[in-house]
């Protein structure tokens, strides 16, 4: 005797795109990640696009309605002071500088996250550290130059290339790579 085939799983009803759902989705995202308004907009647009694709043809809101709901959600988060591009940029700058990032790398990262050029410029003006100091931190973190345990001379060109790809100028890269092994900071070089 053969068994009857198992019943097919019930079809999931498409869930509607509503302002409440958008608010919950944005709150969940902001609870996990710091974000800019533009980055949150991109995230919400992707979520809405997935939901609209799942929905039946007649039940999905128009793209103009979806954009209006996203704009309203972003405005609510601005009013609640949970979205602040300047605070995000300052925190990201601090975090990246501790890791030894160059100004070029920081500018690119902030721009990638949707921070506008004026906010980037204002944030970078308030930066008290220099690329020279960041180059030493980057070399220490990546174990380049004086922090390499062996084959330092043979790997000098590779280390220089790594520093240049990280956005450091030739002078800063050379200073960090050619530093004395005992010198651990730019102040002692």
Check: CB of residue 22 under 8 Å from CB of residue 75: no
Confidence of residue 110 (pLDDT cuts 50, 70, 90): very high
- Domains of the chain, by residue range, sit at 19-79, 85-125, 131-188
* Prediction pTM value: 0.74
* pLDDT value at 7 more than 70: yes
pLDDT of residue 155: 84
What b/e sequence results for 7-18 when a residue is b if at least 16 CB atoms lie within 10 Å of its CB, and e otherwise? eeeeeeeeeebe
Dump pLDDT digits (tens) for 27-79.
999 999 999 999 999 999 999 988 888 766 556 677 788 899 999 999 999 99
Dump pLDDT digits (tens) for 131-147.
888 899 888 888 888 88
The DSSP 8-state label assigned to residue 188 in this structure reads G
The full length of the chain comes to 189
């Amino acid at each position: 005797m053969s068994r009857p085939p198992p019943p097919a799983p019930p079809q999931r009803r498409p869930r509607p795109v509503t302002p409440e759902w958008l608010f919950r989705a944005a709150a969940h995202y902001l609870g996990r990640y710091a974000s800019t308004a533009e980055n949150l907009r991109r995230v919400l647009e992707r979520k809405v696009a997935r939901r609209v694709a799942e929905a039946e043809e007649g039940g999905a809101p128009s793209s103009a309605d979806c954009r209006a709901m996203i704009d309203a959600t972003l405005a609510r988060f601005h009013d609640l002071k949970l979205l602040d591009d300047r605070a995000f940029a300052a925190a990201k700058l601090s975090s990246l500088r501790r890791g030894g990032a160059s100004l070029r790398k920081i500018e690119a990262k902030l721009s990638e996250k949707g921070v506008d050029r004026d906010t980037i410029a204002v944030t970078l003006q308030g930066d008290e550290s220099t690329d020279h100091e960041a180059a030493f931190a980057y070399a220490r973190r990546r174990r380049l130059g004086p922090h390499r345990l062996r084959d330092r001379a043979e790997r000098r060109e590779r280390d220089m290339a790594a520093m240049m790809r990280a956005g450091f100028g030739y002078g800063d890269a050379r200073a960090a790579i050619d530093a004395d092994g005992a010198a651990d900071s730019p102040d002692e070089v």
